[in-house]
């Protein structure tokens, strides 16, 4: 336990310390910060006066009122057929989009997506060849944390494409197109290879996974200190409820309930308040004892990705002609998903394609490749259980 805690503290302190330095070097404006200024509209005010009073740039005024020329700037606001509330709402929406665009480091974002494509393609090759092992899995996870989190920061992230989109739409009634494109790219990654962006690319997901692996034996099959598998009905139930709460608060009260506890801010620690620090601390400590607690229980993209992975091209598959029904893969799996994949007798939880089941299987009956999962022959596992019971009774006699 002492050694485990030392490794945990060293990893977390290193991530936080280097992230602080990295985020300061990148600089830039706070990401996703809305412009919450109060707009002033007075009776008989012209477009030009509205712009001057509220310090609005000419291009924004042109979009708000669809101005056709300089003369339109001298027209009164009432000439454009919009109520004061409509003008304010449209202006605030465009200000929000302007703030979003201005807060992004587009060079960093393009570099990050390019590295995501390269890194995930490399891991996909390893997975397809069955070459992800207990040793290189840890290094791959740490590399993902270092590249996509420590060096390239908290934004963009899979979670942000869902959460921030809902908050912006609910609070300002607009959609930020680049975020929609990023969401589409992330979703495509999920569909191509079973939740791969969450598995191997998400900076927070890989950090939780790396911490979880600290508390595993050398074969990566069981916890050094007891680890727990949360039933899917509980974890997904909480995740659905949290997603509903995010949407409800965004649309009813224009409030982002994740902002103060956003765990991705560990990669921009100067943005974390006391509540955020406490929440991140609990999340990371929990990761020692249960696999990816944020991903399974709270992440809005995790919920969307779970639905999308049902049509993934590459996925974990079982060859039942080779399978000896020993249950080693199910036991070693960090979550309850392998039992569901193996038996196909219940809803399949999130599969993060970690490769633990493939490495553990003594019959090499599990692979990661394209195609549909087959169902086990009727009675396959029941027959094995009967045989085992018979052998035990005979031994006892």
3-state secondary structure 142-171: HHHHHHHHHHCCCCCCHHHHHHHHHHHHHH
CATH 3.30.70 matches 316-396: yes
Question: 231 with 28: CB under 8 angstroms?
Answer: no
Beta bridge partners of 216: 223
- pLDDT, mean of residues 322-337: 95
DSSP string, 301-367: HHHHHHHHGGG-SEEEEE-TTT-----HHHHHSSSSHHHHHHH--S---------HHHHH-TT--EE
pLDDT grade, residue 1 (50/70/90)? confident
Q: CATH 3.30.70 residue ranges in the chain?
A: 316-396
Give the pLDDT band of residue 388 (cuts 50, 70, 90): very low
Closest CA to 256 of 236, 276, 238: 276
The per-residue pLDDT for range 135-159, each reduced to its tens digit, is 999 999 999 999 999 999 999 999 9
| Least confident piece of the model among 99-108, 157-166, 231-240 | 99-108
Q: Which of 311 and 389 is assigned the larger pLDDT?
A: 311
Q: Give percent of the chain above pLDDT 90.
A: 89
Mean residue pLDDT of the chain comes to 92
369 has which bridge partners?
A: 315
pLDDT in tens, 208-241: 999 999 999 999 999 999 999 999 999 999 999 9
Q: Are 265 and 259 spatial neighbours (Cβ–Cβ below 8 Å)?
A: no
User: How far apart are the C-alpha atoms of 272 and 50, rounded to whole Å?
Assistant: 37
């Amino acid at each position: 336990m002492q050694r485990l805690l030392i490794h945990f503290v060293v990893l977390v302190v290193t991530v936080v310390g280097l992230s602080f330095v990295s985020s300061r070097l990148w600089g830039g404006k706070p990401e996703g910060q809305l412009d919450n200024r109060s707009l002033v509209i007075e009776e008989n005010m012209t477009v030009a006066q509205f712009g001057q009073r509220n310090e609005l740039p000419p291009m924004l005024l042109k979009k708000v009122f669809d101005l056709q020329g300089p003369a339109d700037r001298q027209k009164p606001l009432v000439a454009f057929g919009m109520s004061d509330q409509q003008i304010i709402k449209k202006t605030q929406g465009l200000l929000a989009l302007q703030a979003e665009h201005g807060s992004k480091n587009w060079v960093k974002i393009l570099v990050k997506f390019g590295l995501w494509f390269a890194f995930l393609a490399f891991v996909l090759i390893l997975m397809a060849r069955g070459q992800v092992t207990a040793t290189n899995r840890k290094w791959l996870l740490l590399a993902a944390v270092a590249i996509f989190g420590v060096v390239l920061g908290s934004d963009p992230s899979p979670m942000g494409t869902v959460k921030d989109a809902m908050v912006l739409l609910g609070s300002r009634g607009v959609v930020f197109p680049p975020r929609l494109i990023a969401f589409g790219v992330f979703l495509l990654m999920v569909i191509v290879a079973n939740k791969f962006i969450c598995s191997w690319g998400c900076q927070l997901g890989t950090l939780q996974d790396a911490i979880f692996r600290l508390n595993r034996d050398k074969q990566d099959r069981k916890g050094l200190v007891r680890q727990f598998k949360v039933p899917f009905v509980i974890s997904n139930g909480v995740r659905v409820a949290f997603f509903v709460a995010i949407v409800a608060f965004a649309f009813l009260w224009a409030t982002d309930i994740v902002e103060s506890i956003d765990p991705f801010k560990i990669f921009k620690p100067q943005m974390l308040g006391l509540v955020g620090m406490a929440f991140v601390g609990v999340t990371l400590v929990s990761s020692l004892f249960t696999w990816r607690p944020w991903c399974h229980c709270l992440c809005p993209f995790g919920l969307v990705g779970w639905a999308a992975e049902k049509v993934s091209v590459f996925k974990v598959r079982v060859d039942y002609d080779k399978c000896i029904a020993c249950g080693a893969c199910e036991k070693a799996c960090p979550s309850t998903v392998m039992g569901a994949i193996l038996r196909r007798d219940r809803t399949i939880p999130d599969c993060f394609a970690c490769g633990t089941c493939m490495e553990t299987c003594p019959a090499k009956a599990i692979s990661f490749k394209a195609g549909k999962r087959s169902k086990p022959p009727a009675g396959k596992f029941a027959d094995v259980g009967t045989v085992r019971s018979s052998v035990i009774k005979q031994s006892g006699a």
